[in-house]
Structure 1
Amino acid sequence: MRIEHEVLKETIKKALLHAGLNEEAAEVCAKTHAASSADGIESHGLNRVPRFVEYVQKGWVDPKAKPQLVQAKGAVENYDGHLGIGITNAIYCSDRAVELAKIHGIGCVTLKNTTHWMRGGTYAWRMAEAGYMGICWTNTESCMPLWGSDEPGVGNNPFCVAIPRENGPIVLDMAMSQYAYGKLGVYRLAGKELPYPGGFDKDGHLTSDPGAIEDSKRILPTGYWKGSGMAIVLDLAAALMANGKSGTDLDEENQGSCTGCCQIFIAYDPYLFGSRDEIQAMLDKRVAAADSSHPEEAGRKVSCPGERTIQVRKESMEKGIQVNEQIWEQVKAIAEGNMDITDISVR
């Protein structure tokens, strides 16, 4: 089913107000969740609202906390998120990275002790739309087996890069697993199989059944051993740079998804060593060449990351945003104060 954008945003906002967020935070978070769903990332848009409300109620997210500067050295700043709202903490830090880049050409903000930022691409898009190349990533609790293991031992640690192309940003937003758990949930709720195998079932067989992968907790690393290796170095790099917790620390605390995690935000001035005209011409030429690649199937089109997102966004604004009816009813119930937190299904 499809829901008009403003209706979706306002319903999410009411749910967040009911959960205890103030007017400003509820507005920012509702706008972000609605935008994620509008871009086709419903797994971290509307679908994440019930879980976020649960975490606030459990005290795993402090809706009143603000990021606090710990140390600063030149173009690098380190903040403590104090377990505040992941979205507002990340927006603050990505914006601060851009401000540092305006001064130094590059800005790096490291954030520790924060909470789930929802859709990581939100902040890469934000930096690109401000005219800067953006790089950001987060560490998480262990939810993916290291290559060669049959039990969770590392996070799927989302990584995002945004190229500020004026004719449409090129934005990569990916977890280190073939499919994030949120995407598995989207397919399971829709009663669909995955387009490609995404993990193993409880018997160790590679499968496209999202529910079987959720049950086994054996999601498949992107690129097999390569995704596994990238996941562990991103975990270590985030904890090192932010002077915060690694995925192992999050595992030991066991407070849900990403509670207490570290995040890194890097903004880079694209015209530091080249003019606007020459840089933009280079980007357009490269993207045009990539997009003109011969498709393996007739009638299909090859595109760079982020280009299809813009098309989905346009369709969502024209026709309404695609939502799962079960999740939509849950969020409406929270907004109306008719659902006790113990009734919320967050799977």
Structure 2
Amino acid sequence: MTGSTGGQEWRLVDAAELTRFTVDALRAAGASLDEATVTAEVLVAADLGGVESHGMARLRRYVEGLRSGTINPHGVPEIVSDQGSVCVLDARNGLGQPALRTAVDLAVTRARRFGTSAVMVRRSNHMGIAGWFAERAARAGMFAMVSTNAVPQVAPMGTNEPMFGTNPFCYAVPAGQSVLCFDGATSTVSRGKLEQLDRLGEQMPHGWALGPDGSTTTDIPATVEGLIHRKGYALLPLGGGDKNHGGHKGSALSLFIELLCGPLAGAQWSRHTYQNGEGGLGHFVFCLSLESLGDPESIRAGVEQLTHEVRAAAPVDPATPVRVPGDRRSLLTGTRRTLGVPVLTSVLADLHDIARFVGVTPVRAQHADA
């Protein structure tokens, strides 16, 4: 089945087919079956939930990194500091998804024993959407927080020099039989979102990015190119570039994530990541066991009731109901698991190119009459 969005055509692809292809491509590039499987799950979950900026469009960077050696295909995480409820993992410059999955599972195990836990990861790489990991912990009965730093792209308020990554902050908690999860960058926008807008032929609003002269820019290709090659372009923190709209708060939140995932984790902070031939990124996981707080079922019910009350609030626009974090993503995931995942033809072309140079079976899109 085909369609179009913003002038760009797309094809529907079954989620299982995207997973199959991603696993095959990563294994051909040198990853183990386990590493390839968890990485594929995270990438496909992003596309299922409408976070296309962190889905299949990111696969090339992992495949090329594994093939070139800038990502270690044998980077099995190891504990380098163990204080019971606080641990530090060395990802050994491996794929970020397996490293963070290991950290989450360790944090859950320790929180069940101690009530709370914090696990830091150092020497890692890009790990996809933080929500996948926080939700994994929440389904295990935890209130969880997950964050990561990244390459320098965000200018703190008062400068146009990129100092921080987009530094996402994510939390998740059980809500009845479901999970409430927020996952968002501490910048106004992520570079991946700009790349997605460019693929769709859409525009960037004023106030998202700065050019080399310090003035706001709406040129997406120049901004993306400038961010990648560090040519003086920068994204703005949440709240933008001035105090009147809370830019100082966004800067402080981004610095908070940088502290957790940089110096405190023993990892590189954003300005020094991807030096000496490795990623050097840091991740942070915090878990709080609901059982340590009292009756887990009562807490689940309370969270669920709170979300119901928020959704029931009178909307400013009757045509736009009030949502809580994750509502849109959950709706899209259910629909796309049934009907297929829309993948832009430009992304499909990139996936076919990957299939050709690693020697695996290309992605099979659904027939136009499906």
Give yes or no for contact 1:165–1:283 (8 Å, CA) kept in 2: yes
Name the counterpart of 2:348: 328
Q: How far 1:47 moved relative to its partner?
A: 0.8
Q: Does 1:275 align with 2:295?
A: yes
Give yes or no for contact 2:160–2:210 (8 Å, CA) kept in 1: no
Separation in structure 1 between the aligned mates of residue 186 and residue 19 of structure 2, nearest angstrom: 29
Matched to 1:302, the amino acid is: V
Separation in structure 1 between the aligned mates of residue 181 and residue 314 of structure 2, nearest angstrom: 22
Separation in structure 2 between the aligned mates of residue 106 and residue 303 of structure 1, nearest angstrom: 30
Separation in structure 2 between the aligned mates of residue 211 and residue 198 of structure 1, nearest angstrom: 14
Matched to 1:286, the amino acid is: L
Find 1:174's aligned residue among 184, 208, 218: 184
Structure 1 residues 46-97: Cα deviation after superposition (integer angstroms, max 9, x where no partner): 0100111122223221011111111111211111111011111111110110
Give yes or no for contact 1:11–1:332 (8 Å, CA) kept in 2: no
Structure 1 residues 169-203: Cα deviation after superposition (integer angstroms, max 9, x where no partner): 11111111111111111111111124775223456
Q: Does 1:290 align with 2:310?
A: yes
**TM-aligned CA distance change 1:262 to 1:276, over 3 Å:** same
Give yes or no for contact 1:198–1:210 (8 Å, CA) kept in 2: no
Separation in structure 2 between the aligned mates of residue 301 and residue 322 of structure 1, nearest angstrom: 25
Q: Does 1:118 align with 2:128?
A: yes
Give yes or no for contact 1:18–1:337 (8 Å, CA) kept in 2: no
Name the counterpart of 2:242: none
Separation in structure 2 between the aligned mates of residue 236 and residue 227 of structure 1, nearest angstrom: 14
Find 1:193's aligned residue among 203, 219, 231: 203
Between 1:230-239 and 1:302-311, the stretch displaced more is: 230-239
Structure 1 residues 122-151: Cα deviation after superposition (integer angstroms, max 9, x where no partner): 111111122211111112221111111112
Q: How far 1:111 moved relative to its partner?
A: 0.9
Name the counterpart of 1:75: 85
Separation in structure 1 between the aligned mates of residue 145 and residue 53 of structure 2, nearest angstrom: 21
Name the counterpart of 1:106: 116
Where does the alignment leave 5 or more consecutive residues of structure 1 unmatched?
Answer: 340-347
Name the counterpart of 1:33: 43
Q: TM-score, normalised by structure 2?
A: 0.85
Structure 1 residues 248-292: Cα deviation after superposition (integer angstroms, max 9, x where no partner): 3327x2768xx1111111111123222134212321221112112
Q: How far 1:118 moved relative to its partner?
A: 1.4
**TM-aligned CA distance change 1:207 to 1:303, over 3 Å:** farther
Separation in structure 1 between the aligned mates of residue 225 and residue 214 of structure 2, nearest angstrom: 12
Find 2:61's aligned residue among 51, 59, 62: 51
Matched to 1:40, the amino acid is: G
Moved over 6 A (4+): none
Give yes or no for contact 1:18–1:335 (8 Å, CA) kept in 2: no
**TM-aligned CA distance change 1:212 to 1:300, over 3 Å:** farther
Q: Does 1:318 align with 2:334?
A: no
Separation in structure 2 between the aligned mates of residue 277 and residue 111 of structure 1, nearest angstrom: 31
Name the counterpart of 1:141: 151
Name the counterpart of 1:241: 264
Tell me the secondary structure at the aligned position of residue 163 of structure 2: strand
Tell me the secondary structure at the aligned position of residue 237 of structure 1: helix
Matched to 1:155, the amino acid is: G
**TM-aligned CA distance change 1:292 to 1:233, over 3 Å:** same
Q: Does 1:220 align with 2:239?
A: no
Separation in structure 1 between the aligned mates of residue 42 and residue 103 of structure 2, nearest angstrom: 15
Separation in structure 1 between the aligned mates of residue 265 and residue 211 of structure 2, nearest angstrom: 36
Name the counterpart of 2:319: 299
Where does the alignment leave 5 or more consecutive residues of structure 2 unmatched?
Answer: 1-9, 227-232, 240-246, 360-370
Separation in structure 1 between the aligned mates of residue 286 and residue 188 of structure 2, nearest angstrom: 25
Name the counterpart of 2:5: none
Q: How far 1:208 moved relative to its partner?
A: 5.2
**TM-aligned CA distance change 1:316 to 1:195, over 3 Å:** farther
Q: TM-score, normalised by structure 1?
A: 0.90
